[in-house]
Structure 1
Amino acid sequence: MKLSALALCIPLLAAGQLAHAAPDYAQVHDILAKNACLACHAVDKKVVGPAYEEVAAKHKGQADAAEILTKHIKEGTSGNYGPIPMPPNVGISDADIKTVVEWLVAGAPH
Structure 2
Amino acid sequence: MKLLPIAALLLLFNSASTAIAQTAPVDLLRKNGCMACHGLVHKQVGPGFAQIAERYRNDPGAAPRLAEKIRNGSVGAWGRVIMPRQSLVSEADSRVLATWVLSQPSVAKR
TM-score, normalising length: structure 2: 0.69
Note the residue ranges of structure 1 that are not aligned, 5 or more in a row.
Answer: 1-25
Relative distance call for 1:108 and 1:31 in structure 2 (3 A) is farther
Q: Which residue of 83, 87, 91 maps to 1:86?
A: 83
Q: Which residue of 36, 61, 65 maps to 2:33?
A: 36
Relative distance call for 1:31 and 1:108 in structure 2 (3 A) is farther
Distance 1:91 1:47 in 2: 22
Identity %: 31
- Partner in structure 1 of residue 63 of structure 2: 66
User: Aligned-residue CA RMSD in angstroms?
Assistant: 2.1
Relative distance call for 1:108 and 1:69 in structure 2 (3 A) is farther
* 8 A Cα contact 1:60 1:107, kept in partner: no
Aligned residues: 85
Larger radius of gyration: 2
Is the aligned partner of 1:57 residue 2:54?
yes
Note the residue ranges of structure 2 that are not aligned, 5 or more in a row.
Answer: 1-22
Relative distance call for 1:101 and 1:108 in structure 2 (3 A) is farther
Structure number with greater CO (CA < 8 Å, separation at least 6) is 1
Distance 2:105 2:27 in 1: 14
